Amino acid sequence: MPSQPSRDLEVFTNPAPENDYTIHIEIPEFSCLCPKTGQPDFATISIDYVPDLNCIELKSLKLYIWSFRNEGAFHEAVTNQMLRDFTDACNPRFMRVSGRFNVRGGIYTTVVAEQRKPGWIAPSTVTLP
């Protein structure tokens, strides 16, 4: 049976919960509909997160992203909805979701939403020679 769009996000156990490490996911083919005109909007969605006990499973993420294709959504609303859904699913130490929406009427829009787990402090950056 072919895959269908779904809002059900699956997770798997973080293989290295003792480490702070970043997972970067780039989704260049996001689309939804403009809630005012019904015309398609296209964006690149970037997800950067530091997992805690769970990580987001990528096939379910693909089906989740697909679920927006025929839905009207303002850029700000859809980016923040993704952040809520992703953090509800995997409860990361830190997560940032960025939506870089393609030009519409001569205007590009980028929306960045982030959430930090209470008490989590980002490790300092190491600079090597």
Q: Is 41 a catalytic residue?
A: yes
Helices (H), 1-129: 58-66, 75-90
CA distances to 61, 76, 80, 98 from 40, rounded to whole Å, are 20, 16, 19, 19
Tokens at residue 26, please?
A: 């780039």
Q: Is 8 a catalytic residue?
A: no
Question: Catalytic: which of 8, 32, 34, 90?
Answer: 34
Question: Catalytic: which of 32, 41, 55, 90?
Answer: 41
Residues annotated as catalytic are 34, 41
